[in-house]
Amino acid sequence: MSLILLWELQELDLAIGVLTDKFEGNPLHQEVEDAAARLDRVEEELEQGEQLLQEQRKRLRRGELDLETISAEREELHQRLYSGEVKNIKELEQMEIKLGSVKQKQLAQEEELLSLMEAIEEQEELAVALTRQKKEGAVELHDWQRRLEEELALLGGELAKLQEQRDRLTEQIEPDRLRLYDEMMQRHQGRGIARVINDICQGCSVFISSAQRGFLYDPAALVYCENCGRLLVRFTGEETKAKQADSQQG
């Protein structure tokens, strides 16, 4: 009977393997990672944008002070030029030229400030859009995280149940049979036990030789498939039912 238990153990281990893959390789992990990366990019862009905005505002303040200085200079020149204080023609000409260049300077400064203000406005709009994207990204990330957590909790619960079943099952199997099981599993990539149905090994679909067939009815015998090397287990539906009834009584 314990060979049937080994086969059941293999079934359980295969189911545990499938669940573990779903747990560890869950596609929601990737979704969470992608959403986190998207949020990171938006946050980085927003941070850079805000830095740039700070620099632009600083430049604007400085430029406005410069403009005030230039305007004051122009005002002063203008007043002196038309105050009648200066009579010397040469000096007046010089002042006129100077006033002209200060006017040019003022115009250029005003133009620069204007384009700077436009750039700031653009940057502010970008910051608003990025802030909205950041909020949306955070919601999206949180949503994926919640879905992943729910999924993992579900899978974790199923895994715990199977693990519990496995613990109960292995308690019923002799230690040397468990060692044999581990050995067969290693040798055959997790499918070291094969059922025999209608004299065919279910591991490799090859007929069992008549010499071996007889041994399969001996519950104490260990019979290996001559073709694939798997440990063979033969049980009928009746045996399965009987076994289930046994375990229910026990």
What is the Cα–Cα distance from 57 to 51, expressed in whole angstroms? 10
Q: Are 113 and 67 in contact (CB under 8 A)?
A: yes
Segment interacting with Zn ion, rule: CB under 5 A, options 96-104, 115-123, 161-169, 194-202: 194-202
What is the Cα–Cα distance from 106 to 95, expressed in whole angstroms? 16
- Compare residues 67 and 200 and give the one whose CB is closer to Zn ion: 200
What is the Cα–Cα distance from 107 to 27, expressed in whole angstroms? 61
Sequence-separated (6 or more) residues with CB below 8 Å from residue 37:
none
Q: Which of 20, 52, 228, 243 binds Zn ion (CB under 5 A)?
A: 228
Q: Minimum distance between the CB of residue 15 and Zn ion, rounded to whole angstroms? A: 22
Residue 223 engages Zn ion in binding (rule: CB under 5 A): no
Element (H, E) at 120: helix 89-171
Q: Minimum distance between the CB of residue 243 and Zn ion, rounded to whole angstroms? A: 23
Tokens of 121: 């406005």
- Compare residues 35 and 208 and give the one whose CB is closer to Zn ion: 208
Which amino acid, one-letter code, is at 203?
Answer: G
- Collapse the DSSP code of 209 into the 3-class scheme (helix H, G, I; strand E, B; otherwise coil) and give the result: coil
Residue 225 engages Zn ion in binding (rule: CB under 5 A): yes
Which amino acid, one-letter code, is at 68?
Answer: E
Residue 227 engages Zn ion in binding (rule: CB under 5 A): yes
Residue 203 engages Zn ion in binding (rule: CB under 5 A): yes
- Compare residues 145 and 202 and give the one whose CB is closer to Zn ion: 202
Segment interacting with Zn ion, rule: CB under 5 A, options 16-24, 73-81, 104-112, 195-203: 195-203
What is the Cα–Cα distance from 175 to 217, expressed in whole angstroms? 23
Segment interacting with Zn ion, rule: CB under 5 A, options 25-33, 67-75, 159-167, 220-228: 220-228
Residue 204 engages Zn ion in binding (rule: CB under 5 A): yes
Q: Minimum distance between the CB of residue 226 and Zn ion, rounded to whole angstroms? A: 8
- Binding footprint of Zn ion on the chain (CB under 5 A): 201, 203-204, 225, 227-228
